[in-house]
Structure 1
Amino acid sequence: MNQPAVAPSRWLRWYRRSADPRVRLVCFPHAGGAASMFRDWPQWLPEDVEVIGVCYPGRQDRVMEPCIDDMGVLSTRIADVLQPFAGQRLALFGHSMGASVAYEVALRLQQRTGGVPAGRLFVSGQLPPHRVTPDDAHLRGDEAIRDEVRRLGDPNAGTVLDDPDLLELVMPAIRADFRLIGTYLPRPPTRLSTPISAYTGSEDEDVPVEGLREWAAATGTAFDHRVSPGGHFYLLDDPEALVKDLAGHLAVGSVVG
């Protein structure tokens, strides 16, 4: 097996470690988001579930690294890091842009191993690959990007967008993420050999339930979905409810691997 070109410690942030984990839950943040959004999740999960956040280049302690604005490049590099875990009890969760990245990582792991890339894929706040609707905000400049961030309703974004010093620090990563998702074009989905659970907010106009259900076309096995109260960032309103639902799917005997 090829060793990853970049040490896993650069890409992965462990919010709970286990000497013998039953499941590793690897979490992918949204555009402009950081791995730290998952740091509180262990309190709602069994102790034998490791919780790992993916840290994209250009943010947190990687702020001086060049950002990646291409889906193929980003997902391939993350797959390099996660490949040693493939075929074990691995689960992937992604929100918004992170859901698309998680799907692409699972697809690459499946192509490399020829087996089950992960025990379950959780996708949140995003449409499946054949239904994505690329936004052109990245072509219209920083103000258009900021307007889109505000429209999506991230409750943590207001402080950053209104502080010139913070905005200058994080804007390169936000630009890169919006270009990445804006150039991620619709295509027929490749079916995963991994069950998929899909989530959206009841008031998320970008991810209506009828579109969410189409994630079923991206798996050759089990599919289920859940609608929670709230908008695009419903998971920040009540993270406990979401994580406890994930825990049910991660219960003993329910994860492939």
Structure 2
Amino acid sequence: MAETSTGSAWIRRFHPAPDAPVRLVCFPYAGSGASYYHPLSRALAPDVQVLAVQYPGRQDRADEPCAEDLTVLADRVAEELLDRCDPPFVLFGHSMGAVVAYEVALRLEALGAPPRGLVATGRRAPSLPRVRRVRFADDAELVAELKRLNAGNEAVTRLLDDEGVLRIVLPTLRGDYRAIERYHRPSAPPLRCPVVAMGGDADPVTPVADLEAWERHTTASFRLRVFRGGHFFLDTHTDAVRQEILDHIAAVTPR
């Protein structure tokens, strides 16, 4: 998969868009990597420059240990983005990525380089506790959890029946679950930028009420959009999700 250098092990750029007036920084879900956002990058170029964050422990960083503390992970990503925050930028994260994006946004605001907006999908608000303990599951239970989250996606189900794929995926996924399940911000501070939350009406792990709670994490405007579907609703509503992102970008960035 072609990409151009950003000078950082943490940031991927698949489709250079040097004249784009805005950047969208994308954060992957647990077990995933930057390449998940390649299709979105292709669809938005050249009007939006998409940058995808690459966490350690996957894809071309597979020889590095996973970050098992989300606050430390956010510290590192914020450092990497600080010199890449011009032109105006918006953060977008799915599931675990939504929380990492939120934590990075807090840090960038404190450093004087605030994002114009945040799009959080498939994830409860940071102040809500996570009661499930998937990190303690054995391999069979973990695979069952993945199949539940990807219900209806036959391609993913077939991959999860492949022992070779599981040997690669499960250690990374388990490391990410250790990080996300230890994370809780009962008094999480609000952002100063507008927030959009999106989710599926049949998501087995993120009910709509948990998405609504994102409103308390911004002093600016908030919008909630609920689609038909499960945890990975964005894979079956790609055009609508992309339009929501574009509408958010248009609303929070100067013409």
Same fold (TM over 0.5): yes
Between the aligned partners of 1:49 and 1:201, the Cα distance in structure 2 is 25
Is 2:18–2:49's contact at 8 Å kept on the other side of the alignment?
A: no
C-alpha contact (below 8 Å) 1:44/1:240 kept by paired residues: no
1:90 maps to a residue whose letter is F
Question: Is the CA contact (8 Å cut-off) linking 1:24 and 1:52 kept in structure 2?
Answer: yes
1:185, CA displacement in angstroms? 2.0
- In the TM superposition, what are the counterparts of 1:58-207 in structure 2 within 5 Å? 58-86=57-85, 88-113=87-112, 117-153=114-150, 155=153, 157-207=156-206
Aligned 8 A contact 1:67 1:173 in 2: yes
Q: Are 1:255 and 2:253 an aligned pair?
A: yes
For the 8 Å contact 2:21–2:87, the answer to whether it is kept is no
SS at 1:31 equivalent: coil
Structure 2: tracts of 5 or more residues without a match:
1-5
8 Å contact from structure 1 (residues 118, 256) kept in 2: no
The amino acid that maps onto 2:253 is V
Distance apart, 1:219 and its partner CA:
0.5
| Distance 1:56-1:140 versus aligned 2 partners, 3 A rule | same
Moved more, 9-18 or 81-90: 81-90
Question: Is the 2:8–2:80 contact (alpha carbons within 8 Å) kept by the matching residues of 1?
Answer: no
Q: Secondary structure at the match of 2:71?
A: helix
| Superposition CA RMSD, Å | 2.1
Output the amino acid matched with 2:207: P
**Displacement after TM superposition at 1:41 (Å):** 1.3
Q: Distance in 1 between matches of 2:7 and 2:177?
A: 25
Cα distance, 1:158 vs. partner?
2.4
SS of 1:10 mapped into structure 2: coil
Q: Cα distance 1:165–1:205, how it changes in 2: closer, same or farther (>3 A)? A: closer
Give the TM-score normalised by the residue count of structure 2: 0.89
Secondary structure of the structure 1 residue equivalent to 2:20? coil
1:32 Cα deviation after fit = 0.8
Deviation of residue 40 (structure 1)? 1.1
Q: Sequence identity, in percent?
A: 38
Cα distance between partner residues in 1 of 2:25 and 2:189: 21
**1:204 counterpart SS class:** coil
CA deviations over 1:169-208 (Å, ceiling 9, x no partner): 2222111111111111241221111110000011114222
> Is the Cα–Cα contact under 8 Å of residues 30 and 98 in structure 1 kept in the other structure?
yes
Unaligned ranges ≥5, structure 1: 1-6
CA pair 142-111 structure 1, distance change in 2 beyond 3 A: farther
Q: Call closer, same or farther: CA 1:145–1:210 in 2, change over 3 Å.
A: same
Cα displacement (A) at 1:46: 5.8
Distance change in 2, residues 1:44/1:132 (3 Å): farther
Distance change in 2, residues 1:64/1:43 (3 Å): closer
Residue matched to 2:222: 223
Change (3 A) 1:35 1:134: farther
Map 1:14-93 onto structure 2 (within 5 A): 14-45=13-44, 47-86=46-85, 88-93=87-92
Q: Secondary structure at the match of 1:227?
A: strand
1:212-233 deviation digits (Å, cap 9, x = unpaired): 1111110011111101111110
Q: Are the counterparts in 2 of residues 57 and 66 from structure 1 also a CA contact under 8 Å?
A: yes
TM (norm. structure 1) is 0.89
Residue of structure 2 in register with 1:4 after alignment:
none
Residue 87 of structure 1 and its aligned partner are, at CA, apart by 6.6
CA distance in 2, matches of 1:244, 1:129: 25
Q: Give distance in 1, aligned partners of 2:81 and 2:178.
A: 24
